[in-house]
Amino acid sequence: MAEAIINGLSGLTVGFEMLVVDWRNAIMLLVGFLLLYLGIKKDCEPLLLVPIGFGCILANIPLSDVMGQEGFIRVIYDAGIATELFPLLIFVGIGAMTDFGPLLARPSTFLLGAAGQFGIFITLLLALALGFPQLDAVAIGIIGACDGPTAIYVTSKYAPHLLGAVSVAAYSYMSLVPIIQPPIMRLLTTKKERETVMKAVAKPVSKTTKMLFPLVITVLGGLIAPKGLPLLGTIMLGNLMRESGVVSRLTKASENEIANVVTLFLGLCIGATMVGSAFVKTQTLIILGLGFVAICLDTVCGVLMGKLMRVVTGGKVNPLIGAAGISAFPMAARVVQKEGAKWNKKSYLLMHAMGANAGGQVGSVIAAAVMLSVLAGMGIIR
Amino acid sequence: MDNLTFGITMLICGMGGTLLTLWVMSLVMAFLGKLFPEKPEKKEA
């Protein structure tokens, strides 16, 4: 009888024992709490960090079965991440939420969106130099897209064991854009350049052009980089629904209910991949470091492209808008507006920066699509 | 394929392809913007 009671009680203490045995779980529990703190108290991407943080805690409680064969997060993971469905559904919502008008009013800002992707490829080279396998290096480079769903899509497909580190890096650095970008912007530009006042974007864009945009981008992008068509097609489907104005129920569902439910599931699944034994490694720190480098390089190349456009246009472009050529929408555009106004109160860069930022959104998807198609062309992926 | 060849190929084809694709897209969208300009609203009589 006494033995049975002791055995029964030992079942209640085994979790604590296991926590002492594998200290990595204890560290990840702290990481989970840190993510919750950042999301709740510091308002850093709370929609993602709260479910990610909680998922991390759930998965790191010893003997937790949430990611086991029939665990509830495993079921969600298999249904939405392993099948790449969740990032694509998020993309429909992003397309439905985004106004590409400022980009279409000044199509040259597509080039700023392209320059903002340089970080992906240079980081890929760095990761290779540090000894990462080729597909792991691709997944690490994609952090430079500054685009969570794109990073998740590519990583879950080609380097699923890095999903936790890559996703956390992508979303964390996106929320740190207001801290990371301004010093780089100041370092690369002169006072005169920063003070440049750009003419207001007065050119209105017709509804026909706005509706043709998603169709043209889908067909053209799909022909050039068919491997990335799911990414491109879903964001453009969302945008076509928005611009056509005839399926407002679907548009609202995509940007609200669907996006919200998928964000919750996506966050939980990412958090649950951050299990101590797989996450507490030097490799994770290197990935986080490379992700930081990628986003710095994106900003550098964006600003340099802005400087080039300034030269070509005879000084009409403020190179600061180049920093908005990344996918962190609309945060990067706001950072540019704030920085520009700091140097010249008459400078109103927001709409120009929004164009570059929308270009960055298209650019990140195109970069991933091109990357996958080049990999397929080389026979590295099927 | 060795890592150096792989990395350089990705840099040239990947970044080159991205730049080229977005440049072509900007040209097409600029053309469409001219083809379908915003018409001023008609004043009601």
pLDDT for B45 equals: 53
Reported as a pLDDT band with limits 50, 70 and 90, residue A343 is: very high
The mean pLDDT of A41-46, rounded to a whole number, is: 85
C-alpha distance from B1 to closest chain A C-alpha (Å): 9
Find out whether A112 and A258 touch, Cβ atoms under 8 Å.
no
pLDDT for A141 equals: 95
Tokens linked to A122: 């240079």
pTM: 0.90
For residue range A205-225, what is the model confidence (pLDDT) as tens digits? 999 999 999 999 999 999 999
Q: What is the ipTM of this complex?
A: 0.91
For residue range A187-203, what is the model confidence (pLDDT) as tens digits? 999 999 999 999 886 67
pLDDT for A230 equals: 95
DSSP 8-class letter at B43: P
Which of B1, B26, B28 is best to mutate for the A interface (most A CBs within 10 A)?
A: B26
Choose the most confident range, by mean pLDDT, from A143-147, A239-243, A351-355.
A239-243
Q: Which amino acid is at A159?
A: A
- B3–chain A Cβ distance below 8 A for any pair: yes
How many separate helices (H) and strands (E) can be counted in chain A? 21, 0
Yes or no, beta carbons of B26 and A111 under 8 Å apart: yes
pLDDT for A333 equals: 94
Give the span between the Cα atoms of B44 and A229, in whole angstroms: 45
Which of B20, B23, B29 is best to mutate for the A interface (most A CBs within 10 A)?
A: B29
Give the span between the Cα atoms of A262 and A259, in whole angstroms: 5
Q: What share of chain A is helix, strand, coil (3-state, %, to 5)?
A: 80, 0, 20
pLDDT for A202 equals: 62
β-partners of residue A205 are: B37
pLDDT for A7 equals: 85
Residue B43 has pLDDT above 80, yes or no: no
Find out whether A276 and A81 touch, Cβ atoms under 8 Å.
no
The mean pLDDT of A10-28, rounded to a whole number, is: 85
Helix (H, G, I), strand (E, B) or coil at A68: coil
Question: Chain-wide mean pLDDT for chain A?
Answer: 92
Yes or no, beta carbons of A114 and B6 under 8 Å apart: no
Residue A334 has pLDDT above 90, yes or no: yes
Reported as a pLDDT band with limits 50, 70 and 90, residue A382 is: confident
